[in-house]
Structure 1
Amino acid sequence: MVKINGVKVQTEGRKPWADAPPEPIPGQRRKRNGIYPGWDSPEKIQQCLHCTNPDCSGRCPSKSRKKVGRPRIPMPEDFPEKEKRLRYHELIDHYGVNTTVITRWKKELRGKGEK
């Protein structure tokens, strides 16, 4: 029961997911995330019900994904001295890394020198 401008108004809430069957419909395919099409997980439903965003559109943006890939090889402590004495390909052979790693390490050294 809600009072609007002095008038009592009866409101009724409806949970659209309440009608969803507990088991999947035979022949219905699952999405890659394991949720059946058109169904949200109980966690997403609770998050939506307790949303505090004033401009809520009913669809929360997904979390940003972390960059997946190889971890960057950190620059060795002796690289500044070796970089002065050895040539580019000698550095590659000495550290056993590819050209892009040596190039990145050289850029990091220049960046540290400027600061």
Structure 2
Amino acid sequence: MKKLISIAFIMATAGCASLTNDAMTPIALSFSDGSNGYCKLNNKRGAWDARIPTTVSVRRSDDPLKFDCETSDGREAFGSIPSTVGAKIVASAVFLDFGITDAITDKHREYPSNYVVPMPA
């Protein structure tokens, strides 16, 4: 009887493959020289415009987050912020759905919480 109750409990709690990560993730952006400016950000999941310094919410993706920035005095910088695999993918793969949902949604991917855009002098 205990075994049957245990199996029913596991099936009831593991029936949903929802993930704990939100689709959006915040990144605090600033310029290396402390100046103000503007950045265009994009990955395969979307595009965002932001005044710098700020914290912007971007969609998680397995692609790097590309940036094209300009300071208020006209200096430009461009590059990308790499995306990494988060530790929660292990729990998802083992306990939920073998990572299938993560592979589709990219919710297991992470960008750094802070990024300093290098500006030429």
Structure with more of its chain in helix, by fraction: 1
Common topology (TM > 0.5): no
Tell me the TM-score normalized by structure 1: 0.21
Asked which structure has the greater RCO (Cα within 8 Å, sep 6+), the reply is 2
